[in-house]
Chains A and B, each alone.
Chain A
């Protein structure tokens, strides 16, 4: 006999846990970057390669989670948030992992080492972007409580505050990026031209991390504001 009871079949998979797990993976992936950068500063390319490998693995793991969640969200689902919101949020989260992989690939591929005068400034800039990623991850972890409260009330206010904080972090990272570019500009004449091009590229991609984190937050904001 059938023991599952057909009523249990009307419940689809809640996207909350998978979204959070995916965000955890993406954030973890990005947070491996400082290790790689520090190894590059010391010229320890073995350790850098190990960090790069971890980043690639985590990016793949995030991809798998992304695929699973997409498959578990058929069009016939009735959800308190729209399917588009969930899927869009997912792809924004995924871009964080992708960017981290890009950056690690650039650095490893060309053995890029930041010039000594701007090494600390770059690390600080990277950390600030990672702070934004962490803040986005925390906001995504409020999804349980948001679902519980029906996306309104005091809990929604709290999440809006968290997203505001995320924007502030992003603003700070933008300022750091401007300063970092200025410092690089000041010394670029003494460096190899192609290397300089790629340094700018790495800085750009690093800034993207914070951007993506902020976009995750703004999608969350849209879910609440609906």
Chain B
């Protein structure tokens, strides 16, 4: 029993450490479209991130957590020696934490998701045996890494094309911005709530019927629209004089939409990425508590809360500086662009979270920005950098795997 408590404390500490790392570094990438557009101040971005990352982690983080906890490793092979699973998951957490630290030190564009999946697959395949890995599930995850940026890109492209059609290309963009932006507000509030309620909440023990989910989403969407419209109407409307299009005012209206998008993005990021830290820890804790590798309980909510707290601490100690720098470096995204990229990425990520697929937030955001770029919304995108970000997982997955194997062998020898 003492052994079990030791493992649980270790797992919680490692999870907290990794969640700290995510809050310190990764959140900045998720918030990039929002802070880059200058629609919200850095301080507001941090407050939004803290609240919605936490909410996303706790409310919608269950699906991905359970995928990492028991979707990848075939635990039934380990029923005789549950400590192997504990060592493995601990070493995966440690490997991911160390690799992310190295990568951030050198500024390499690595994804926490790619690292942790590589680490879990690595210890299972090499430490235990190739057959211990649920390869079809790993295949699905790898596929989702290719598909998620594409989906986000297509969605961002469509969103921005619709913004151009409905608002920017008109004779009086300001008038049409006031007409259509509340629609986008509703879309954002409705969709995020609907996916979360329909898919995410089941993992924390709340189950809604489809009708209830629809009603709740309608309610939240309506509420978001009402509050957003209230702030929008406080921006004075000017009848355009000859040769004036008031694009500055149009962007201020999109700025309100951007605040909503920032909330969605932080929520989505929390729902997907907190699982990277919490999933392995949850596996350790459930095995340590029950001594059984195959038990099938839902993810204990307090582990998700630990993950949420870790992210917020990471934000408070270090992440706020990263967000500030990212905000200063991105000037190319005006709110009308940032909103399209941010909302497309957030929708893609929250859908993946609902399905339990761990995807890379960074890649999804980059895909969405590329989509806006292809629609002609961004002055210049450096495709070589985009390529290097997309190719980074080719190194990240094996690196995470190799480190995890080393830690696994060490732990098995020492503990």
Contacts and interface: CB of A to CB of B under 8 A. Distances in A.
Nearest to A17: B379
B168 A148 contact: yes
Given A1-B105, A8-B32, A145 B382 contact: no
Interface string B325-338: 11001111110100
Nearest to A77: B380
Nearest to B160: A150
Interface stretch (B113-121, B182-190, B369-377, B403-411): B369-377
Contacts of B389: 6, 10
Contact of A11 (B108, B376, B380): B380
A155 interface: yes
Given A76-B384, A150-B377, A3 B325 contact: yes
A54 to B, nearest CB: 32
A11 B247 contact: no
Contact of A7 (B108, B168, B326, B383): B326
A6 B107 contact: yes
A79 B379 contact: yes
B109 A149 contact: no
Interface in A145-186: 145, 147-155, 158
Interface in A62-114: 73-74, 76-80
B86 interface: no
A13 interface: yes
Given A11-B381, A14-B332, A148-B247, A4 B325 contact: yes
A21 to B, nearest CB: 15
Interface stretch (B67-75, B169-177, B287-295): B169-177
Nearest to A14: B379
Interface in A15-73: 15-16, 73
B171 A153 contact: yes
B247 A15 contact: no
B385 A10 contact: yes
B235 interface: no
Interface in B13-33: 24-25, 28-29, 32
B247 A145 contact: yes
B212 interface: no
A10 B366 contact: yes
Contacts of A150: 164, 168-169, 375-377
A79 B330 contact: no
Given A1-B25, A79-B379, A149-B169, A8 B384 contact: no
B243 interface: yes
B164 A11 contact: no
Interface in B63-100: none
Contacts of B373: 78
Contacts of B170: 153-154
B106 interface: yes
A10 to B, nearest CB: 5
Contacts of B329: 4-5, 8-9, 11
Interface string B150-168: 0000000000000010001
A5 B33 CA distance: 12
Interface residues on A, range: 20 to 34
B146 interface: no
A24 B373 CA distance: 28
Contact of B383 (A6, A13, A76, A151): A76
Interface in B106-135: 106-109
A25 B124 CA distance: 64
A76 B28 CA distance: 25
B380 A2 contact: no
Nearest to A151: B376
Contact of B168 (A10, A16, A153): A153
Nearest to B24: A1
A2 B105 contact: yes
A77 B380 CA distance: 6
Given A2-B105, A151-B376, A153-B168, A7 B32 contact: yes
A182 B312 CA distance: 80
A15 to B, nearest CB: 7
Interface in B234-254: 243, 245, 247, 251
B178 interface: no
Contacts of B369: 7, 10
A11 B106 CA distance: 20
A5 B36 CA distance: 12
Contacts of A14: 332, 379-380
**Interface core residue of A9, A15, A79, A147 (most chain B CB under 10 Å):** A9
A2 B245 contact: no
Nearest to B27: A5
Centre residue among B28, B321, B369 by max chain A CB count within 10 A: B28
Contact of B382 (A5, A9, A15, A158): A9
Contact of B322 (A3, A73, A148, A153): A3
A77 B326 CA distance: 20
A69 to B, nearest CB: 11
18 contacts: A1-B105, A1-B318, A5-B29, A7-B28, A7-B330, A7-B362, A8-B36, A10-B382, A10-B389, A11-B332, A16-B379, A77-B381, A148-B334, A149-B173, A150-B169, A150-B376, A153-B171, A158-B243
Given A77-B382, A148-B334, A149-B164, 12 more contacts: A2-B105, A5-B29, A6-B108, A8-B325, A8-B330, A10-B382, A10-B385, A80-B378, A149-B247, A152-B168, A154-B170, A158-B243
* The 5 nearest A-B residue pairs measured at CB: A14-B379, A153-B169, A2-B107, A12-B380, A8-B329
